[in-house]
Amino acid sequence: MAKILVTGGCGYIGSHTIVDLINNGFEVVSIDNLSRSQASILDGVKKITGKEIQNFEVDLSNDGELKSIYKDLKDIDGIIHFAAYKAVGESVEHPLLYYKNNIGSLVNILEASKALNIPHFVFSSSCTIYGNVQKLPVDENAPMGMAESPYGMTKQMGEAIVNDFVKANADHQSILLRYFNPVGAHYSAEIGELPIGVPANLVPYITQTAMGIRQELTIFGDDYDTRDGSCIRDYVHVMDIANAHTKALQYMLDGKMQQNCDVFNLGTGNGVSVLEAVASFEKVNNLSLNYKIGPRRQGDVVAVYADNSKAIQQLGWQVQYDLDEMMRSAWEWQKKLSS
């Protein structure tokens, strides 16, 4: 049984990935300083899997704090690195916060992987690295555009750092997973997205508006060059994203890597507009959502969706959930939170 360290394990994608790892026979430990998450999420993980997950509450961007737990991390076979700030709008307002946290924590965890001889590393990247693309769907060979936000820039820089690290350390391997727009929740409604404060992502804002926590949803722009004027994204269920991390680790552990660093898109391959996502939520949950059209938001790209054929062919990954299931599970999670 391989043992995997998940950074940001109390976060949204991290917690769902822990569930998928356990369901596929891995042992898991977590690092999460709980600055953007809650430890109670691991209670949900335990209800689903029956496993108690050990979490080390240290700040990865603090080198001394991380080194203080090196002694507890000596039998780790691989790392999945989620821990990062992720709000596009916040990164535009506070760029130095994002560079310090996201880049500093990555450098420190890579130093730990070298010091502790942990050979397999999965990096949580993002489709934001593509910027405004010229060709859709976008594949992994598309050139990186100018990042539209400091958040996107930290992912571009992060990929470069990981690439340089494995080039200099031939006994290490890494997979960069570029996800598009993870949404939804575990079908049990025991874990899901738990934004701190006002949600920065569309779907939790939708569910909080439907619950009455938010007065209304603002759709940022209806004058883009798209079929209905709103931005187009590739929404993908969080459990599908989670499973791709498990498959990426298995791919490395099974010795299938063709090169020391490889990259895979994680999306459904379908572009969905913001207005279409709202319509799906209303339909599947039989609700009417209070929303308005607002001005464009700085940092948003017009349209992006994935060519996911590489992940399907090489990792054996398959998309299991459609948009309606994403919206149904997200609402079930919101109702559980509000009960």
230 exposed, middle or buried (CB, 10 Å; 0-12, 13-18, 19+)? buried
Give SS3 for 124: strand
User: 78 is written with which tokens?
Assistant: 């691989």
Q: Amino acid letter at 22?
A: I
β partners of residue 220: 294
The CA-atom distances, in angstroms, between 324 and each of 184, 237, 276, 297, 329 are 10, 10, 11, 26, 9
Interacting residues of 301 by C-beta distance below 8 A, sequence separation 6+: 128, 130, 131, 132, 133, 148, 231
Interacting residues of 139 by C-beta distance below 8 A, sequence separation 6+: 265, 306, 307, 309, 310
Cβ count within 10 A of residue 35 = 12
CA 131 to chain centre: 17
Pairing of strands 232-233, 272-273: antiparallel
Of the candidates 188, 184, 180, 181, the residue with the CA atom closest to the CA atom of residue 207: 184
The CA-atom distances, in angstroms, between 275 and each of 182, 229, 268 are 17, 9, 18
Residue spans of alpha helices (H) in the chain: 12-23, 41-49, 63-67, 88-93, 95-98, 104-115, 150-168, 202-211, 238-253, 274-285, 309-310, 323-338
Q: Any idea which residues carry the catalytic annotation?
A: 151
Q: What are phi and psi of 123, to 5 degrees?
A: -105, 130
